Amino acid sequence: MSQASQVRTYDPSASVVFLKTNERFGGLSNMAPGFPLRVNGVRIRTSEALYQACRFPHLPDVQRKIIDEHSPMTAKMRSKPFRKDSRPDWDAVRVKIMRWCLRVKLAQNWREFGRLLLATGGRPIVEQSRKDDFWGAKVADDGSLVGMNVLGRLLMELREQLKGDEAEGLRFIEPLAIPEFLLFRQPIEAIRAADGASRPVGIESRPVVAPPLRDLPQPSLFDQPMIAKGQMDIQPNLAVEAKPKQSPAAYPAYRPARVHWLGEIPAQWQEKRGKYFFREIDERSQTGEEELLSVSHTTGVTPRSQKNVTMFKAESYVGHKVARPNDVVINTMWAWMSALGVSKNVGIVSPAYGVYRPLNSEDFLPEYVDYLLRTPMLRWEYICRSTGIRASRLRLYPDKFLDIAFPCPPREEQERMVAFLRAKEAQVRRLIRNKRRLIGLLNEQKQAIINRAVTRGLNPDAPMKPTGIDWMPEVPAHWQTIHLGSKIKLINGYPFDSRLFSNDGTGHPLIRIRDIFREDTIVTYTGEFVEDAAVQTGDILVGMDGDFNVARWKGPTALLNQRVCCIRPNEQLHEAYLASLIAFPLKWINDQTFSTTVKHLSSSDIKRLRFPVPPIEEQREISAWLATETATLEQTIDRVQREIQLVREYRERLIADVVTGKLDVRHIEITAPADELISDGDDALDPNLEGDDAEVMEGADADD
């Protein structure tokens, strides 16, 4: 079928035409913000970024560059230098991929995008374009729109499906049956809308039934099926798991250990003090050009380039300590938090750190040592042997570390332990990743409900008016525009002296930028109480660096550290309503800010914000409705988060029991786990705790 036969002519006055994203139907555009997607657990801001990333299944680095862009236009521009390297069948599959992208956009923004599609009625949908008459249509001399309008026709196709009996089937999207349909080298998985996603206005309630695997109704553009029947058998990408013939059990014979924290150890194990296994190394860098290493209580010793560390860099690293593969590196001042581990790389660390090298490489398997050193029992040993006048500044000096007694199993047993734990950790990572994906979907569904309510109200029939605001293009006609600075009291955080931070519970609770989602704080401040920096339960907190996170404080009265501010509205703004609304302009600012470093927000930026709001009674009504509508989602999120915490506790206990001989895994049949791509930090212990790494290193370096 020729392309000429696919050209259409449209009357703009009788069509739904979109050109800019801030127009009435601008959300139909692939460039429209506010419709986030999640594929294989990876968050993607727009359908345009997803579509462009699908060009390069064989180039994961290019996919990452595209997806990391905040703006859909820059994501598109990022792909241009690599267009010559697009997948070889791109022209043949691009329409199929676009159709799939639109279905993902609908499934994961079910209410908002569905409402927009249905609002077009039965009119033709046309993307007006100045240059592209394939995806859109160009303005002709007589004012009509002429072009193939492929995007508009795909949207019309999707709209008719949404109106029809197969509407609920659109919640389930199988991956395309085309070669190399990959994201970061992993096969793209099936996608479904979050359970309980609100129905778009205009769709009657129908039972949700998963579509049959081999017969998914999918009308096609140009009379070509998107997925042929019989091609839907997608093999799941399952990582190989440990397959134990029986569960781990105790060793047949034990003997008392020399140190109380070990209790008993297997009879055949050795037990010696650290000085018989390790020696302190003080090798210094002559050039300072070696790779910087980060020492974390969550991830051990890793290259700084692999972590999101925002601390300052020194002018020179000449004289820093050199660590080599298999060396034990200890942050002397934070050993009590298990900020230590075994290095896999050649690199440099702070002169304040301790570096210890094995005396005999046959004594310990490095991976076994890395597991052993960060067990909870040894953490208590570090605390007992550290010295200092304050709990938060305890130091573990070399003579104390080398005096600790360590169990030393036979080498072959260490190898079995490491293989077993690696296989189990692959299972744990996969489980946590799936649960965090679920949390992400639930949060996106919650945000979609909030977005609709705080920007459009509860009355779907209310007359609307344009605002000229990109993130809030139209609002009910009776809403009034306010200047935020005149309606709030803003409290800035205070630059408290970090030397007075404590982890022993004494002092005043302190909220740092990483703590705004916590009900209890990680650290306290042992200095004087600063009234001007105090916040109360229910206050709105804004993180002013990074992603500009917003939350209502649920904890007790606390002090506010620098780079966090508190917003207290006056009687013309309802607290809960403002807390829900303020995230949207800040997100828009974040998305529009281009920076190669951490983004920053000032209190003046917040005060300058202007946006429409309803009368105070309507604000209260909206807040009450949101509390009811999102209650189930929040309960589910809390439950899944508790489940993740239990899984982490299981992992920690399993590691401790295996490496200290409480469980015998010698008889377990283990298949090596497949290498997995873990995206978005899904296996991290806690995204908030990860930020501690910077402070851990800063504190040690600054103190010496």
| Span 409-421, pLDDT tens digits | 999 999 999 999 9
Within 10 angstroms of residue 4's Cβ, the number of other Cβ atoms is: 7
pLDDT value for 594: 56
From CA 296, how far away is CA 300, in angstroms rounded? 5
DSSP string, 88-131: TTHHHHHHHHHHHHHHHHHHHTHHHHHHHHHTTTTS-EEEB-SS
From CA 564, how far away is CA 550, in angstroms rounded? 10
pLDDT at 275 over 50: yes
Whose tokens are 């909220």? That residue is 511
Please check whether residue 633 is in contact with residue 446, taking contact to mean a CB–CB distance below 8 angstroms.
yes
pLDDT value for 308: 55
pLDDT value for 63: 95
* Helix H or strand E encompassing 427: helix 411-456
Summarize the confidence of residues 387-392 as an average pLDDT: 71
pLDDT value for 693: 37
pLDDT at 294 over 80: yes
Please state, in angstroms and as integers, the Cα–Cα distance from residue 693 to each residue in 514, 630, 657, following that order.
Answer: 12, 34, 27
CB within 8 Å of 330: residues ≥ 6 apart: 295, 339, 340, 353, 354, 355, 356, 396, 401
CA angle, residues 467, 111, 121, in degrees to nearest 5 = 75
**Which residue, among 172, 187, 185, 184, has the nearest Cα to 238 in the 3D structure?**
187
pLDDT at 218 over 60: no
pLDDT, tens only, 665-680: 988 877 655 444 443 3
pLDDT band at 471 (very low <50, low <70, confident <90, very high): confident
Share of the chain above pLDDT 90, in %: 48
For the chain, give the mean pLDDT: 82
Summarize the confidence of residues 647-659 as an average pLDDT: 93
Summarize the confidence of residues 509-529 as an average pLDDT: 83
pLDDT band at 379 (very low <50, low <70, confident <90, very high): confident
Q: Between 2 and 246, whose confidence is greater? A: 246
pLDDT band at 689 (very low <50, low <70, confident <90, very high): very low
From CA 569, how far away is CA 574, in angstroms rounded? 7
Summarize the confidence of residues 387-407 as an average pLDDT: 85
Please state, in angstroms and as integers, the Cα–Cα distance from residue 424 to each residue in 420, 665, 676, following that order.
Answer: 6, 12, 13
CA 137 to chain centre: 38
pLDDT band at 241 (very low <50, low <70, confident <90, very high): very low
Q: Between 465 and 227, whose confidence is greater? A: 465
pLDDT, tens only, 322-348: 999 999 999 988 888 888 999 999 999
CATH 1.10.357.40 in the chain: give the residue spans.
4-237
pLDDT value for 235: 35
pLDDT at 314 over 60: yes
Summarize the confidence of residues 360-366 as an average pLDDT: 90
From CA 332, how far away is CA 386, in angstroms rounded? 9
Summarize the confidence of residues 102-114 as an average pLDDT: 91
Q: Is 443 helix (H, G, I), strand (E, B) or coil?
A: helix
From CA 697, how far away is CA 177, in angstroms rounded? 48
Summarize the confidence of residues 339-364 as an average pLDDT: 92
pLDDT at 237 over 80: no
Q: Which CATH superfamily is domain 4-237 in?
A: YbiA-like (1.10.357.40)
From CA 232, how far away is CA 51, in angstroms rounded? 21
Report the CATH number of the 477-613 domain.
3.90.220.20
Whose tokens are 């029947």? That residue is 229
Summarize the confidence of residues 177-203 as an average pLDDT: 75
Whose tokens are 């205009």? That residue is 202
From CA 288, how far away is CA 311, in angstroms rounded? 18
CATH 3.90.220.20 in the chain: give the residue spans.
254-428+642-702, 477-613
Q: Between 167 and 651, whose confidence is greater? A: 651
pLDDT value for 593: 63
pLDDT band at 542 (very low <50, low <70, confident <90, very high): very high
Structure tokens at 565: 């501010």
Number of H helices, E strands in the chain: 16, 36
DSSP E strands in 514-591: the ranges are: 523-525, 534-535, 540-543, 550-552, 558-560, 564-569
Q: Which CATH superfamily is domain 254-428+642-702 in?
A: DNA methylase specificity domains (3.90.220.20)
pLDDT at 221 over 90: no
Lowest mean pLDDT among 39-53, 207-221, 582-596, 652-666: 207-221
pLDDT value for 520: 67
* Helix H or strand E encompassing 626: helix 616-629
Share of the chain above pLDDT 70, in %: 83
* 518-545 exposure pattern, b = at least 16 Cβ within 10 A, e = fewer: beebbbbbbeeeeeebbbeeebbbbbbb
pLDDT at 490 over 90: yes
How many residues are present in the chain?
A: 704
pLDDT at 97 over 90: yes
The answer for 57, left when phi > 0, alpha when psi is -120 to 50, beta otherwise, is alpha
Whose tokens are 């002169």? That residue is 351
pLDDT value for 615: 95
